[in-house]
Structure 1
Amino acid sequence: MRMEEYVATHGDTYGSIARSAQIGVRELACANPQRPADEPIRAGELLYVPVMPARKRIYVVQPGDALAAIAEWFGCTASRLRALNPHLSLEAAEPAPGTRIALPAAAAGRIVLPSSAYGPDRVAADLKRLARAFPFIKTAAIGSSVMGKPILAAGIGDGPFRWHVNAAMHANEWITSLIAMRFLEDYGRACRRKTQIGGFDAADLYKRTTLWVVPMVNPDGVELVQEGLRPEHPLSARIGRWNRGSASFRNWKANARGVDLNDQFPAGWEEERRRRAVYGPAPRDYGGEAPLSEPEAAALAAFTEAHSFDAVIALHTQGEEIYWNYGGLEPPESKAWAHRLGLASGYRPLELTGSDAGYKDWFIAKYRRPGFTVEAGCGRNPLPLSDFEEMYDDCLRLLTEALDLSPG
């Protein structure tokens, strides 16, 4: 494959370069093994970009096809298809069977695009776009972060069994936000097209379940990991001290007050505090001065209580494991459900001991209902963007399997 040299400019990311070259992020990362794919690109860096041979995406009209239906299937509009295909007469009601129609590039209809800068602003913008594209997706703000950023949620489905999925509770696990958002898009598109998702009929899942997703619990922390600490940040001096003066926030899991949100829940909180032995703000493992002291954790707990979910999944990284128990308080079906999730995803169900104060722990202890922590992917956090597609494929199968577990 032919390579071209590309000199990076300010603001470039693997995602923006890949989109411009009309290639995948994975291909771009593989073409540049000399640098970590998850490391921010500096202006002036020389990258190698694969040059793909130009190929048009074509659809051959089948008997009974309508242009509007073809456009919906491929995630665009009929007017967009007419613009790409001048041979389609505006007067003709429908193209004749056998007509060849040029389609937009594969990414043109995609809303959620992988990027190493997929932060709270991108989540907010993409949720608006998803709600416009799929009006049956509901959106809401469930609270605000320490720095006043909205904590957003999206709901899809009209069934009696209530599922909840949350992501990016730990700042350097922000790739889980991409997984959650991509799943919302794929589920919404499958519902609109009346097709399958993950091998299951999307309309059937929609009728049986209501799913609420909080794709980024910790927006302040994610910004620190992705962008570093800006001098104008109101907590700059303190955060810099808590991070021991390092400019790198790769290991930062906490929120903007140095509190680990997954050590914030009232389920063995005191025991977890003693076990962690971290008694002040830090990049990780500090559970705060009291359970639910942080607005992000308090908002998620209140949202859970308001909806009384029947089952929950907290998306984390990494390890390709599924934790399903808490202190023997989990219901009998939890182990069997974890086994099914493991078969679907290839992840290993694990009975966990010596861990408390997590969201899943609190949910099980409070409601005695199935709760799972899913550790997606393998490696060292933050996992590289080049792992996204494989991780997403695993999680797509896991999440659709979860929705199918719902009675009804």
Structure 2
Amino acid sequence: MTYPYVVQRGDTLYRVARKFNINLQSLLAANPGVDPDRYLMPGQLLQIPARNGGYVVQAGDSFYWIARKFNIGLQELMAVNPGIDPAQLPIGQTLRLPPPQGQESGDIVNTRWEYGYAEMIDDLALLQTRYPFIALETIGSSVLGKPIPAVRIGTGERRLHYNGSFHANEWITTLLVMKFLEDAARAAATGASFRRRNMAELFRRNTLWLVPMVNPDGVELVQEGAAPDHPYYEQLIRWNGGSPDFRDWKANIRGVDLNDQFPAGWEIERDRRAVPGPGPRDWVGPEPLSEPESKAMADFTRKYDFAMTIAFHTQGREIYWNYRDLEPPESEAIAARFGQVSGYRPVKLTDSDAGYKDWFIQEWRRPGFTVEAGLGINPLPISQFPEMYRDAGNIMLAALEI
């Protein structure tokens, strides 16, 4: 049995499947005319297999009828939908359905699905509610006005910073950072160990700041595409060589590579790249820090005076640790330690400038790293996440122990 669902702005196949707590294969099987390699369009009609997770209210529905339809208790249904008047169910609203007994994992961050800005914002709010010692701060906004959140955990004098999704098609790095936040916070709150580490003790020694998604507009473009009413639609299609497929897009929404935006050899990188203007990748922009996302990261980094930074990217299973011999002597040894715990290869880079790591090393002469997680073609498939998280999580823990 299926019921209809009208695609909303921001929906993807993964997001719809997650919303209704069904697997992607079941959703595709119920919609044989849907091409999984094309973006969903607002107004498109999908058929949703009846399953726990969510239900779109239809004309004539009542809480009692929905509870009977899904064989769940009326009180359970009302409990997971607080604030909704049972006598006035709005047609088209999605109701939550309680999970089947025994299937509640307790995890907030779901690592089985494509992960975007909407999921991150929802999860951060839930994590802060569950773990009140987590602090949230907005460090700036994207070109399209999306707030860029930073998360603080820990109270120690030593301040560290990890970030993800400088590049749009590397959105899986946001999931790496978010899952680490949840696992570390849970262990700190309960006193349990996390991979044999005492997280409460590590967070007494360290304050960790996370920016899970530097480039929200770009991630949205990769995952959702651009409809004709997008404010940059015509430019994006042109910059993308006439193609409406943006899954290879790395840049922000103005076609600027945010990790080529920092004032550390920016002119050298501009000339080396020799990209004349906006596009999916490698344009350094009109000047350093021209983009609100890169400027937000620079201002944030200046504000908190970090002892160490790690920028997570994909792919290559490599660790970059140097910049023009300006890095401190301990950087190479730290990179070797990261390599030991992850299996990644430390690499001394040449011919690379204008990156966040480069700028941090140049300005502070402190250890800064770029970690290229996973292997393959970006965007890496979600099936790689468990292995990537094992390795990248070990690096995150090792940095806290130094």
Q: Residue 244 and residue 41 in structure 1: after superposition, are their counterparts in 2 closer, same or farther (change >3 A)?
A: closer
Question: 2:12·2:223 contact (CA, 8 Å) conserved in 1?
Answer: no
Corresponding residue SS for 1:207: helix
Residue ranges of structure 1 left out of the alignment (5+ in a row): 1-6, 29-37, 47-79, 84-102
Q: Residue 116 and residue 238 in structure 1: after superposition, are their counterparts in 2 closer, same or farther (change >3 A)?
A: farther
CA distance in 2, matches of 1:254, 1:264: 11
Aligned to 1:201: 198
Aligned to 1:388: 385
Q: Deviations over 1:131-190 (max 9, x none)?
A: 101000000100001111101110000111110001000000001001111111111101
Aligned to 1:55: none
Q: Deviations over 1:297-333 (max 9, x none)?
A: 0000000000000000000000000000010000111
Residue ranges of structure 2 left out of the alignment (5+ in a row): 27-35, 48-75, 80-99
CA distance in 2, matches of 1:8, 1:275: 49
Corresponding residue SS for 1:142: strand
Aligned to 1:133: 130
Q: Residue 107 and residue 221 in structure 1: after superposition, are their counterparts in 2 closer, same or farther (change >3 A)?
A: farther
Question: 1:329·1:364 contact (CA, 8 Å) conserved in 2?
Answer: yes
Aligned to 2:317: 320
Q: Residue 105 and residue 180 in structure 1: after superposition, are their counterparts in 2 closer, same or farther (change >3 A)?
A: farther
What's the offset of the Cα at 1:115? 5.6
Q: Residue 206 and residue 280 in structure 1: after superposition, are their counterparts in 2 closer, same or farther (change >3 A)?
A: same
Question: 2:142·2:215 contact (CA, 8 Å) conserved in 1?
Answer: yes
Aligned to 2:64: none
What's the offset of the Cα at 1:108? 3.5
Question: 1:8·1:41 contact (CA, 8 Å) conserved in 2?
Answer: no
Q: Residue 40 and residue 194 in structure 1: after superposition, are their counterparts in 2 closer, same or farther (change >3 A)?
A: farther
| 1:261-280 equivalence runs, <5 A | 261-280=258-277
1:383 maps to amino acid: L
Question: Which of these residues, 352, 358, 364, is aligned with residue 355 of structure 2?
Answer: 358
What's the offset of the Cα at 1:386? 1.1
Aligned to 1:212: 209
What's the offset of the Cα at 1:206? 0.7
Question: Which of these residues, 145, 150, 167, is aligned with residue 148 of structure 1?
Answer: 145
Q: Residue 112 and residue 343 in structure 1: after superposition, are their counterparts in 2 closer, same or farther (change >3 A)?
A: same
2:140 maps to amino acid: G
Corresponding residue SS for 1:251: coil
| 1:261-300 equivalence runs, <5 A | 261-300=258-297
CA distance in 1, matches of 2:268, 2:18: 47
Aligned to 1:338: 335
Question: Which of these residues, 255, 258, 271, is aligned with residue 255 of structure 2?
Answer: 258
Q: Deviations over 1:328-373 (max 9, x none)?
A: 0001110111111111111111111110000000000000000000
Aligned to 1:89: none
CA distance in 2, matches of 1:156, 1:392: 19
Question: 1:264·1:287 contact (CA, 8 Å) conserved in 2?
Answer: yes
Aligned to 1:403: 400
For these two proteins, the number of residue pairs brought into alignment is 342
Corresponding residue SS for 2:237: helix
What's the offset of the Cα at 1:242? 0.6
2:119 maps to amino acid: R
Question: 1:8·1:45 contact (CA, 8 Å) conserved in 2?
Answer: yes
1:400 maps to amino acid: L
Question: Which of these residues, 159, 162, 166, is aligned with residue 162 of structure 1?
Answer: 159
CA distance in 1, matches of 2:346, 2:104: 34
Aligned to 1:172: 169
Q: TM-score, normalised by structure 1?
A: 0.77
Aligned to 2:187: 190
Question: 2:152·2:209 contact (CA, 8 Å) conserved in 1?
Answer: yes
Aligned to 1:111: 108
Structure 1, 110-119 or 250-259: larger mean CA deviation:
110-119
Question: 1:264·1:293 contact (CA, 8 Å) conserved in 2?
Answer: yes
CA distance in 1, matches of 2:166, 2:12: 26
CA distance in 1, matches of 2:136, 2:18: 30
CA distance in 2, matches of 1:300, 1:185: 23
Question: Which of these residues, 275, 299, 324, is aligned with residue 302 of structure 1?
Answer: 299
What's the offset of the Cα at 1:8? 11
Q: Residue 112 and residue 162 in structure 1: after superposition, are their counterparts in 2 closer, same or farther (change >3 A)?
A: same
Q: Deviations over 1:237-275 (max 9, x none)?
A: 111111111011111110111100000000010000111
Matched-pair identity in %: 53
CA distance in 1, matches of 2:401, 2:215: 29
2:400 maps to amino acid: L
What's the offset of the Cα at 1:114? 2.8
CA distance in 2, matches of 1:114, 1:41: 21
The two structures, once aligned, show a CA RMSD in angstroms of: 3.1
